[in-house]
């Protein structure tokens, strides 16, 4: 419990990134997040809150007294490079309603549940092709490069109308932009290149109708800057997240052979399994930043004052014992739908129907077609992407 009369920032404990995970527990949130709402100081000394309890996190993400607008004084940037990500004309993720809703609704049409369901045959073909190519190359293969990345990259490129041939360029830019250990100049340079690429692509598609980039570019109520920043966000979010979920999920299943066996025996469990994997892994492991625009008392009792920054740690909230009994355990048969892996509130992931379908098809196909799937290196040698805002794997060497 925090008293209203307590001075705002007496706790000077540092919130550094990456927060170390416990030795031997690469799938569990860092022990530093096992605590109630806590005031901390960021790398630059700026004060902020770290909120980890399920109900507190849900409140921070859905109560409109918390803003996602990075231009508001007090918005927390927990790495020097984060500020560089914010353009003069921000993407909808860093705006509040009504601007957020106006922009978001221009992009929702392609991500409807029914529309995405119609993509299933196409996604299945992409998954099968990637797997065929991986099998043809022979074991050991790198699941990250050969399977996990090509699937969502191809899908989002088709939806956006971005040439897939450029994937090496934008995967490199994405990696830099999302690297929380990169310096501000490095991230800014990567963002500038990325933005120039998208601006040029959008200009060349003006007047065309196919693909999201063309449709955004053809709107008269958007500036070229708005088109570029929003299209860029979809491209970035569309492939990095699903790719890392696919590789991490595969590794987790290999480490839980009884769960893998269950999924093999009952393929119809895949939808629930994907929800549980989303909960268990929560790859946006660095949390979601917000700034309070009014004083708010959280359900857990902490009082966040107007102008104070908050990180909502969705990975910790998704292990909440009260919400998810035995939250530390992976159980693909539990009802995990109330997880916060896609965030919560009006900013909840726009692409979640697509992510779900991609993960369901990718994992079901992998499990079905490669019954002998196994790690090709000792587990200790697997390299985790701890430095990235999106948790994942650098490579996943597999045999079958």
Partner 1 sequence: MHVSVDQDRCCSSGQCVLAVPTVFDQDEEEGVVRLLDADPSPELDEKLRTAAALCPAGAISLTEVAR
Positions in the binding site for partner 1 (CB under 8 A): 61-62, 101, 104-106, 108-109, 111-114, 337-338, 342-350, 352-353
Minimum distance from CB of 49 to partner 1 (Å)?
A: 21
Minimum distance from CB of 343 to partner 1 (Å)?
A: 7
Minimum distance from CB of 82 to partner 1 (Å)?
A: 24
Question: Which sign, positive or negative, has the C-alpha torsion 301, 15, 83, 352?
Answer: negative
Closer residue to partner 1 in complex, CB, 27/342? 342
Which candidate, 222, 228, 164, places its Cα nearest to that of 195?
228
Closer residue to partner 1 in complex, CB, 150/345? 345
Please give the C-alpha separations between residue 250 and each of 25, 52, 141, 241, 274, in angstroms, as whole numbers: 16, 26, 13, 14, 11
Task: Please write down the long-range contacts of 187-190, taking CB distance under 8 Å and 24 or more positions apart.
Answer: 187/80, 187/81, 187/82, 187/84, 187/85, 188/81, 188/84
Closer residue to partner 1 in complex, CB, 346/370? 346
Give the pair of three-digit tokens for residue 398. 């597999």
Closer residue to partner 1 in complex, CB, 144/222? 222
Minimum distance from CB of 384 to partner 1 (Å)?
A: 29
Burial of 352 from C-beta contacts in 10 A (0-12 / 13-18 / 19+): middle
The Cβ of residue 386 has, within 10 Å, a number of other Cβ atoms equal to 18
Minimum distance from CB of 112 to partner 1 (Å)?
A: 5
308 Cβ contact list (under 8 Å, min separation 6): 8, 47, 48, 49, 74, 291, 292
Minimum distance from CB of 225 to partner 1 (Å)?
A: 22
Minimum distance from CB of 72 to partner 1 (Å)?
A: 20
Closer residue to partner 1 in complex, CB, 106/310? 106
Minimum distance from CB of 155 to partner 1 (Å)?
A: 17
**Angle 137-258-133 (CA atoms, 0-180°, nearest 5)?**
15
Which candidate, 166, 317, 330, 149, places its Cα nearest to that of 241?
149
Which candidate, 94, 52, 111, 18, places its Cα nearest to that of 391?
18
Closer residue to partner 1 in complex, CB, 179/226? 226
Q: Are strands 47-51 and 309-312 parallel, antiparallel or unpaired?
A: parallel
**Angle 11-14-18 (CA atoms, 0-180°, nearest 5)?**
150
Closer residue to partner 1 in complex, CB, 31/109? 109
Closer residue to partner 1 in complex, CB, 230/247? 230
């Amino acid at each position: 419990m925090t008293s209203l009369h307590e001075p705002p920032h007496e706790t000077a404990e540092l919130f550094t990134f990456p927060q170390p995970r416990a030795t031997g527990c690469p799938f569990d949130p860092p022990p530093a997040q096992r605590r109630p709402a806590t005031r901390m100081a960021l790398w630059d000394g700026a004060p902020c809150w770290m909120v980890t309890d399920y109900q507190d996190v849900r409140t921070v993400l859905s109560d409109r007294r918390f803003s996602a607008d990075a231009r508001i004084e007090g918005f927390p940037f927990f790495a020097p490079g984060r500020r560089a990500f914010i353009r003069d004309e921000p993407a909808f993720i860093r705006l509040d309603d009504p601007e957020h809703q106006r922009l978001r609704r221009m992009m929702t049409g392609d991500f409807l549940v029914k529309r995405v369901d119609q993509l299933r045959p196409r996604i299945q073909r992409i998954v099968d092709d990637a797997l065929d190519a991986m099998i043809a190359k022979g074991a050991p293969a790198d699941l990250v490069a050969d399977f996990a990345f090509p699937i969502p990259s191809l899908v989002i490129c088709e939806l956006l109308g971005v040439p897939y041939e450029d994937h090496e360029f934008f995967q490199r830019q994405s990696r830099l932009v999302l690297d929380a250990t990169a310096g501000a100049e490095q991230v800014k340079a990567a963002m500038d290149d990325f933005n120039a690429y998208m601006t040029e692509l959008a200009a060349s598609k003006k007047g065309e109708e196919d693909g999201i980039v063309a449709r955004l570019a053809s709107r008269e109520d958007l500036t070229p800057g708005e088109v570029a920043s929003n299209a860029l966000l979809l491209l970035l979010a569309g492939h990095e997240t699903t790719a890392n979920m696919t590789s991490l999920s595969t590794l987790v299943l290999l480490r839980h052979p009884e769960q893998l066996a269950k999924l093999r025996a009952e393929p119809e469990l895949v939808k629930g399994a994907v929800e549980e994997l989303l909960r268990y892994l929560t790859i946006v492991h660095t949390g979601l930043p917000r700034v309070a625009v009014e004083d708010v008392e959280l359900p857990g009792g902490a009082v966040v004052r107007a102008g104070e920054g908050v990180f909502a740690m969705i990975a910790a909230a998704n292990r909440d014992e009260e919400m998810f009994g035995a939250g530390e355990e992976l159980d693909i048969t539990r009802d995990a739908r109330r997880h916060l892996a896609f965030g919560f509130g009006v900013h909840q992931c726009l692409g979640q129907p697509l992510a779900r379908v991609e993960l369901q098809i990718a994992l079901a196909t992998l499990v079905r077609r490669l019954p002998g799937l196994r790690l090709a290196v000792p587990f200790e040698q697997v390299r985790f992407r701890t430095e990235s805002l999106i948790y994942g794997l650098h490579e996943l060497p597999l045999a079958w």
